[in-house]
Amino acid sequence: MAVFSEQSSVLNTSPALRYIYYAVIALVLCIIHRMFLDLISVAGVTPDLLLLLTVWIALKEGQSVGQFAGFGAGLLFDIISVDVLGTNALAKSIAGFIAGYFYSEDEREDKTGSYKFLLIVFLCALIHNLIYFFFYIRLTEMGFLEFFLKYGVASTLYTTVAAVFPMLIASRKKRYDDRDF
């Protein structure tokens, strides 16, 4: 426990370490996304874990870092999945930018550990999917609105549901921290 708190204090003070930590998490989430998410897919719809990470980082670190995190996570996912390079990067950069609007230095824990986090994730996921599906189905004969309503909205809701878990973890951590003080 002492080691954990020592580690977390290092992460709290050193931005470079924190960014490396985020990069490692992004890589792990990318692999999980590619390998295991099929097990929990509902009619081909899965939660977007990398979007959750992007929103989380934007709320913790601010708009600039959020945008870069979205760009990096999206690019990583574009490379790992076989898709047009840049589509996920674009959608997630914008999602990070929007999530960054809700960043406030005093309320970092409050935002990630409360229902506000779910609302922010919902908004960012909706915009993310709108952009992503717009580029995804360009040059095809599929109807954008039909596909967005079918998959975009479903994916947004699933991602919001998945956001409950990090929210609960953050809320619990906040309670621990408050108790320590």
Partner 1 sequence: MRRFIEFVVRFKDYITLSALMVICFAMMTFGNVAQLGGFRTIVVGGIGWMQNVFSWIPNPVALKSENRALRELNLQLSTETAKMRQAMLENEKLRKMLAFKEPSSAPIVPAEVIGKTTVQLRNFITINRGAKDKIKPGMVAKTDAGVVGTVVSASDNFALIQLIIDRDARIAARIERTGIDGIVAWEGEQNLIIKNIPKSYDVQAGDLLVTSNYSNKYPAGIPVGRVTEVRDEANSLFRKILITPAVKFSSLDQLYVVLYVPNPERAQMEQEIEKRVEQSIQARTSKRVR
Interacting residues toward partner 1 by CB under 8 A: 31, 33-39, 41, 43-44, 46, 48, 63-64, 67-68, 71, 75, 78-87, 89-90, 93-94, 97, 100, 132, 135-137, 139-142, 146-147, 150-151, 155
Q: Which is nearer to partner 1, 1 or 39 (CB)?
A: 39
Q: DSSP per residue over 80-111, as a string?
A: HTTS-TTHHHHHHHHHHHHHHTT--GGGHHHH
Q: Which is nearer to partner 1, 50 or 170 (CB)?
A: 50
Q: Which is nearer to partner 1, 148 or 170 (CB)?
A: 148
Q: Which is nearer to partner 1, 85 or 169 (CB)?
A: 85
Which segments of the chain does DSSP mark as H helices, in order?
2-13, 15-35, 49-61, 63-80, 87-100, 108-112, 115-136, 144-147, 153-162, 164-180
Q: Which is nearer to partner 1, 49 or 170 (CB)?
A: 49
Closest CA to 128 of 101, 154, 100, 98: 98
Largest CA distance in the chain: 59
Task: Please give the DSSP secondary-structure letter assigned to residue 38.
Answer: G
- What sign does the CA torsion over 157, 64, 34, 108 have? negative
Least distance CB 71 / partner 1 (angstroms): 5
Contact call for residues 154 and 45 (beta carbons, < 8 A) = yes
CB atoms within 10 A of CB 79: 13
Least distance CB 60 / partner 1 (angstroms): 16
Least distance CB 114 / partner 1 (angstroms): 24
The helix/strand/coil state of 117 is helix
Q: Which is nearer to partner 1, 118 or 137 (CB)?
A: 137
